[in-house]
Chains A and B, each alone.
Chain A
Amino acid sequence: MIHTVVMISIICIAVAILALTYRVIKGPSTPDRVIALDAIGINLVALIALISIGLDTNAFLEVILLLGILAFIGTVAFSKYLEKGVIIEHDRDR
């Protein structure tokens, strides 16, 4: 029973990732692609959670938090690059 539900959810998430991949490839502007990549990261978190339910293990729970943190840092870095042209400033009060 639970495996059927998990399987259906994994297929739904996979379809969502495919739709987001279309936005990454097609997206007219760079911010579209950045947001799509961020959403793909969050969808991967959901996919890992579902797979760890399906495999009946809790060995992947660190990966979930790790992917959340990495998606946040990556998105912040890219949006800072889009806004200011540099990722790490030397001195911001100048």
Chain B
Amino acid sequence: MKTNDLILQTATKIVLFIIVLFSIYIFFAGHYTPGGGFVGGLLTAGAIILLLLAFDMKTVAKILPINYMTMTAVGLLFAIGTAAGALLFNVPFLTHAFGDVHLPILGEMALHTATIFDLGVFLVVVGVTMTIIQTIGGDE
């Protein structure tokens, strides 16, 4: 039986961007307000799961051609890279740096290397969650 999911698919196309925007907000706001890489990653995974619910696995693989195993590996690489980068400046492992950087378009910005570590957490959480979901939901 062929069913028509028009309402769900149309609602998903709008709600998806709100969820992704909210997850990006919660990721960047993690330093001063509740949130951070873990919740942001779970929320992004939730957005992709909503896409999987409204469409099917083949379509989502076409929209987001991401290998989630590689994503997990890249996230771990970010975390270990931030941690090991401190050794280059003759300070202990996992020492974070803070500074004001002048960027071409965005202007004066206060950047912290903990954000890169958090980005690693974000990528690992999204990668692991989506690997679990795809492995469980993927079989025929």
Residue contact B57 to A91, C-beta cutoff 8 Å: yes
| B99 contacts chain A at the CB level, 8 A cutoff | no
Q: Is the interface of B mostly helix, strand, loop or mixed?
A: helix
The bracket for how many chain A residues form the interface is 20 to 34
CB within 8 Å of A: which B121-135 residues: 133
Residue contact A62 to B56, C-beta cutoff 8 Å: no
In the complex formed, the residue of B with least CB distance to A79 is B8
Task: Give A34 Cβ to nearest chain B Cβ, in Å.
Answer: 14
Task: Give B38 Cβ to nearest chain A Cβ, in Å.
Answer: 12
A89-B57 in contact given A59-B34, A84-B3 (Cβ < 8 Å): yes
CB within 8 Å of A: which B96-117 residues: none
Residue contact A89 to B22, C-beta cutoff 8 Å: no
Please choose the segment from B44-52, B63-71, B77-85 that sits at the chain A interface, where 4 or more of its residues have CB less than 8 A away: B44-52
Residue contact A76 to B58, C-beta cutoff 8 Å: no
What number of B residues sit within 8 Å (CB to CB) of A?
A: 26
Residues of B within 8 A of A80 (CB): 53
| B119 contacts chain A at the CB level, 8 A cutoff | no
| A19 contacts chain B at the CB level, 8 A cutoff | no
Residue contact B46 to A70, C-beta cutoff 8 Å: yes
- In the docked arrangement, what's the CA distance between A70 and B45, Å? 11
| A8 contacts chain B at the CB level, 8 A cutoff | no
Residue contact B43 to A88, C-beta cutoff 8 Å: no
From A73, A84, A91, contact of B49 by CB (8 A): A73
Give 11 CB contacts A-B under 8 Å.
A59-B33, A66-B39, A73-B50, A76-B53, A76-B54, A88-B53, A88-B133, A88-B138, A90-B138, A90-B140, A91-B58
- Show the binding face of A for B, using Cβ within 8 Å: 59, 62-63, 65-66, 69-70, 72-73, 76-77, 80, 83-84, 87-92
5 more A-B contacts (CB under 8 A) besides A62-B34, A69-B19?
A: A62-B33, A76-B8, A88-B133, A89-B56, A91-B58
- Show the binding face of B for A, using Cβ within 8 Å: 3, 8, 15, 19, 22, 26, 33-35, 39, 43, 46, 49-50, 52-59, 133, 137-138, 140
